Structure 1
Amino acid sequence: MIAKNRLIPREIIIYEAILKRLPLNHPRKAEFENKLSLKRAGYKGEKELDYHISQIDHSKLTILHDLRIPYNDTHFQIDTLLISNSLIIPVDSKYYAGTLEFYPEFNQMIQYLNGNEKVYPDPILQTKIQARQLKAFLKSHQFSSPPFEPLVAITNSQALIKNPTQSNEVSQRVFKSPGIFYKIVPYLEKYQKEILTDPDLKKIVKLLLRKHTPYLPNLKELPYSELQKGVECPACHAIGMERLHSQWGCRKCGFTSKDAHVAALKDYFLLYGHSATNSQLRDFLGISSIHQTRRMLSKLDLNTSGELKGRTYTPGKTFSLWD
């Protein structure tokens, strides 16, 4: 059973909104393009792993994708978690390219790519740490834990995995995405004793879902004064559509739209915070009329608080920022 599906990472949606509104020649354009590219590549690899996991018999497994759980004063993240009554398998996904050499005795992995050598922390150690943190988290909520068997999935199909020291740890725990079935089945056959009752397993899943806290990038250093305001044209993507009566018109290509402002409002809430006044939204959309803006906002699923000039708007349940 899949208890939590993998959604598009919120960083991708936020970085897309930033890039849409950064001027073409802005000095930080490349920085955010690189961040977006890395997140998209990682997400693509994770979705490929999800596909191979979906081919496995789920009758004895509960699967949760993309968990981020509070622990002490920080959070730990697990890309994929497989739970049964007798076993817990955290899977960490890595979208590394090039040749990857694992040296668990030194807690490091070396990547060779385009003639360059780069050292990374050992992914096996990372997923072991995540397993330890999850075990402590469950213990703090009075749950007994079955055995943990952490795994590392290399999701880039072009990566070459090497194990120079012939480490059993690397052989047992590191795999390419299509091999997930052959990695977990031996563990499922090895651990037959049920530690968790069905009710306890359901309670653990509910707890993890309740405690999950999606990651949001820190936008404090964003060059807000340099972001372009206005409504984006759905046709040519120019920013700065004009409000003409009951629709928007693009000065560049002539395209018209009745609801182009919805995407712009999502950009505002993503980048500037989940609360805004009529005045702030007028300024962002490029509308002068208070009443016209109020009528427009009243047709959307936005929550309101306060009266008149002090009224603020926040996204409602169906005004989703994340799809």
Structure 2
Amino acid sequence: MNDFLLAGMVAAERLPVAHESKQAVLSELKNSLAGESGEQRTATLLKRELHLSGQTIFLSDVHIPYKDGSAQIDLLVVHAEFVCVLEVKNMVGEFYFDSVNFQFHRIIEGRREGMRNPEAQLHRAVRAASGFLGVPVHGVIVLASRSGKVVEAPKHYPIVSLDYLPFHLELLAQGSKLFDAAALTLKLQGLPTRNSNRSWLERHRITLDSLRLGVTCPTCRNCSLEWQERKWSCAACGFYSRDAHEVTLQEYALLFGNELDTGVAYRLLGVKNKYILYRLLEKTALHSEVRGKRKIVENRELLRNYFGQVYR
């Protein structure tokens, strides 16, 4: 789960039903989950079925600087004999690529839906990767769902089913070493981490005040825990924990950054006693050089494990 997907999960859980962006957030999250599922299946299949000499490196959710912004790559395959961008689509329906106007639409249950053109997305990603790495880069659109059918194919890039993808990539190998795969991978891994959550929050008009605050009960999902007798307790289901607040702190850091104002911390965790607050923040939100400020020790893996139980 990348940061964008995690942010959608946090917002979907904490935004009230009446918020103007609640339905848009839920819709985006549904699409993001489907996309991640397709990318995971693709990576798993390739690691199992792709047979190439030497090491093959798979990089997911890569953001490469391009012009005034960046190009996002679902999955990048780096090998000594080729580099290939995979644009993974986990969609159902009949697909139509307009080779004249370069538009794209699908027919699903008799409805025509216009969508972003995967070929245009792939072309941008290929150009960004090639320019950044300084090597020729291939590209392919991957259909991760067996319920998708191509009626009109794209003009400039191949589109293949997930089952056929290993064979397609094996055909790209020319039998001679062209690149230093490790060096290319190191260059890509040296890119700064991109966090677009702030612009996403602004687009959906999500602020701290618009969210349900408190430490969420992981069993009930929609109510807050209370700190009683040195533990977090849920009056509704009886759940209790000593460290449930750590997830809440990670959610805050994900959305708003790791700098935490002490005054905000009281509201965020739903406690009033300063000694209780300091005890809760002792190991997870350290004192900073600025009075009244804390630095949350970020741990994305904690959030991945937490939401992995919800969206498994």
TM-score, reference length from structure 1:
0.83
1:242 aligns with 2:226: yes
CA change 1:48–1:116 in 2 (3 A) is: same
1:23 counterpart letter in structure 2: P
Look up the SS of the partner of 2:201 in the other structure.
coil
Following superposition, the deviation at residue 126 of structure 1 comes to: 2.9
Q: Is the 8 A contact 1:104 1:124 kept in 2?
A: no
Q: Is the 8 A contact 1:70 1:213 kept in 2?
A: no
Between the aligned partners of 2:293 and 2:19, the Cα distance in structure 1 is 35
CA change 1:130–1:99 in 2 (3 A) is: same
Q: Aligned residue for 1:162?
A: 151
CA change 1:65–1:318 in 2 (3 A) is: closer
Q: Aligned residue for 2:185?
A: 205
Q: Aligned residue for 1:34?
A: 27
Counting only pairs closer than 5 Å after superposition, residues 1-323 of structure 1 correspond to structure 2 as 8-54=1-47, 55-60=49-54, 61-139=56-134, 145=135, 147-163=136-152, 169=156, 173-188=158-173, 191-196=174-179, 198=180, 201-211=181-191, 213-217=193-197, 218-220=200-202, 221-300=205-284, 302-306=285-289, 309-316=291-298, 320-323=302-305
Between the aligned partners of 1:57 and 1:215, the Cα distance in structure 2 is 35
Following superposition, the deviation at residue 105 of structure 1 comes to: 4.1
TM-score, reference length from structure 2:
0.86
Length, aligned pairs only: 299
Look up the SS of the partner of 2:138 in the other structure.
coil
CA change 1:236–1:124 in 2 (3 A) is: closer
Aligned residues: percent identity? 22
Q: Aligned Cα RMSD in Å?
A: 2.5
Between the aligned partners of 2:103 and 2:230, the Cα distance in structure 1 is 60
CA change 1:272–1:258 in 2 (3 A) is: same
CA change 1:250–1:321 in 2 (3 A) is: closer
CA change 1:252–1:219 in 2 (3 A) is: same
Between the aligned partners of 1:287 and 1:49, the Cα distance in structure 2 is 45
Between the aligned partners of 1:181 and 1:253, the Cα distance in structure 2 is 48
Query: Which runs of 5 or more structure 1 residues have no equivalent in the other structure?
Result: 1-7, 140-144
1:14 counterpart letter in structure 2: A
Following superposition, the deviation at residue 322 of structure 1 comes to: 4.8
Between the aligned partners of 1:59 and 1:268, the Cα distance in structure 2 is 45
Look up the SS of the partner of 1:253 in the other structure.
coil
Q: Is the 8 A contact 1:100 1:112 kept in 2?
A: yes
1:109 counterpart letter in structure 2: F
Between the aligned partners of 2:137 and 2:77, the Cα distance in structure 1 is 10
Following superposition, the deviation at residue 138 of structure 1 comes to: 2.2
Between the aligned partners of 1:318 and 1:46, the Cα distance in structure 2 is 20
Alignment deviations for residues 129-154 of structure 1 (CA, whole Å, 9 cap, x no partner): 32222221123xxxxx2x43211101
Look up the SS of the partner of 1:156 in the other structure.
coil
Between the aligned partners of 2:113 and 2:220, the Cα distance in structure 1 is 41
1:153 counterpart letter in structure 2: V
**Bigger Rg, structure 1 or 2:** 1
Q: Is the 8 A contact 1:89 1:149 kept in 2?
A: yes
Following superposition, the deviation at residue 305 of structure 1 comes to: 1.1
